[in-house]
């Protein structure tokens, strides 16, 4: 639960700590704006999945290029990019297509590391519909690498998580990896 008062106080203190005047014109409302932003992010975290039982569909479903934004828990700087997700339904149970980007938003709009976020998305889909397999490929640029430290903009970090049949079946694994990486 977001405590807006604490966030506002912390941002005021942060601004003072970096030598800014938190009551100057451009910063006066910044603590409130930051608290409001995190409250909005928290509202996105509630997942209400819509699942369907669709005839006899039991083939691979791939959703590509889902944009996401998150924050590095080490520096509280953004990292952002795209998520590609594939799964094979079991018992014809599928997720509504709009629910998959909502799952991504619900899990990404908080402090994270990319490796955990990738796993959390795969685990959530597995939990919600118990498919035969789930594959998640995430590619992101981290501002903690682009604008500070090594200062290497446009560097992408790729992480993946394979569950179920994608771990055991080499044919299924190679098919989903090819589709997630760029096969159209």
The Cα-based distances of 49 to 92, 108, 131, 168, 174 in angstroms read 16, 16, 14, 27, 28
| Whether the Cβ atoms of residue 121 and residue 83 lie closer than 8 Å to each other | yes
* 34 and 91 housed in the same domain: no
* 32 and 86 housed in the same domain: no
* 68 and 140 housed in the same domain: yes
**What proportion of the chain, given as a percentage, has pLDDT over 70?**
98
How many domains, the chain?
Answer: 2
* Local mean pLDDT, 10-residue blocks, the chain (184 residues): 96 97 96 96 83 79 96 96 96 88 95 97 95 97 93 94 94 89 66
pLDDT score at 63: 96
pLDDT score at 160: 96
pLDDT score at 93: 87
* 159 and 91 housed in the same domain: yes
**C-alpha to C-alpha distance for 118 and 103, rounded to whole angstroms:** 11
Q: What is the domain-level CATH number for residue 161? A: 3.30.1130.10
pLDDT score at 46: 81
pLDDT score at 183: 56
Residue 170: its H or E element: helix 170-181
* 154 and 87 housed in the same domain: yes
pLDDT score at 71: 97
pLDDT score at 44: 87
Domain of 55, in residue numbers: 51-181
* 137 and 89 housed in the same domain: yes
* 123 and 58 housed in the same domain: yes
* 164 and 107 housed in the same domain: yes
Q: What is the pLDDT of residues 71-122, one digit of tens each?
A: 999 999 999 999 999 999 998 888 988 999 999 999 999 999 999 999 999 9
* 82 and 131 housed in the same domain: yes
pLDDT score at 107: 96
3-state secondary structure of 124: helix
pTM recorded for the entire structure:
0.91
CB under 8 Å to 172, separation ≥6 — which residues?
Answer: 60, 88, 133, 165, 166
* 69 and 125 housed in the same domain: yes
* 38 and 56 housed in the same domain: no
* 38 and 75 housed in the same domain: no
pLDDT score at 7: 97
């Amino acid at each position: 639960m977001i405590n807006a008062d604490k966030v506002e106080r912390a941002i005021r203190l942060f601004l003072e700590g970096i030598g800014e005047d938190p009551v100057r014109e451009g910063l006066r409302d910044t603590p409130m704006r930051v608290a409001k932003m995190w409250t909005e992010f928290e509202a996105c975290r509630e997942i209400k999945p819509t699942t369907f039982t669709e005839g006899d569909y039991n083939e691979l479903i791939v959703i590509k290029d889902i944009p996401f934004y998150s924050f590095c828990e080490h520096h509280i700087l953004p990292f952002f990019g795209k998520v590609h997700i594939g799964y094979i339904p079991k018992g014809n149970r599928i997720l509504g297509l709009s629910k998959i980007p909502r799952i991504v938003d619900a899990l990404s709009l908080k402090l994270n590391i990319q490796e955990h976020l990738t796993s959390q998305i795969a685990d959530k889909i597995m939990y919600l519909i118990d498919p035969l397999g789930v594959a998640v490929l995430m590619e992101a640029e981290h501002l903690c690498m682009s604008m500070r430290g090594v200062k290497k903009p446009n560097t992408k970090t790729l992480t993946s998580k394979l569950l179920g049949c994608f771990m055991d079946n080499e044919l299924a694994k190679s098919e989903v990896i090819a589709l997630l990486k760029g096969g159209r």
